Amino acid sequence: MHGNPSSPTSQKIITFSLLYCTTCGTIYVGGDNMIAIASSQVRSHFKEVCDKVVEDVESVIITRSRGENVVMMSESEYNNMMENFRIFSNPERYQKIKNGILQYEQGKFSERELIDD
């Protein structure tokens, strides 16, 4: 489908930058902070990759020449993702959260002091 290039509805062009580290074989994709690393490089630099994942709160895509790629992420990121999955997969729970946020935004809340035991 060809349209007028100046028309905002004709096409959407997405640009990003790639940086390749020749030392460790890491590919940095600008914009999303996504990192893709060959599995052989992960084996050679496992500690550094783990530290990067934890310290920078980033997921790393581990590319494999045979088989599907895998993703490495910190345990805290994984737990956060699973919690969000559980919340969003239960429509009733999700609606209660949305209603609570709406009430808060409308000023329909009260503050209370917590009691220490």
User: How far is residue 81's CA from residue 54's CA, in Å, rounded to a whole number?
Assistant: 15
Bridge-based pairing state of the strands 34-38 and 26-29: antiparallel
pTM metric for this prediction: 0.54
18-73 in CATH: which number?
3.40.1620.10
What's phi and psi for 21, nearest 5 deg?
Answer: -90, 115
Q: Provide the residue-wise pLDDT of the chain in tens; the chain has 117 residues.
A: 444 444 444 444 434 444 555 555 555 555 455 688 888 888 888 998 898 888 887 888 898 888 899 999 999 989 998 998 888 888 898 899 899 999 999 999 888 888 887
Q: What is the pLDDT of residue 28?
A: 53
Hey, which residues does 62 pair with through a beta bridge? 37, 70
The Cβ of residue 42 has, within 10 Å, a number of other Cβ atoms equal to 21
The 10s digit of each residue's pLDDT in 14-27 is 344 445 555 555 55
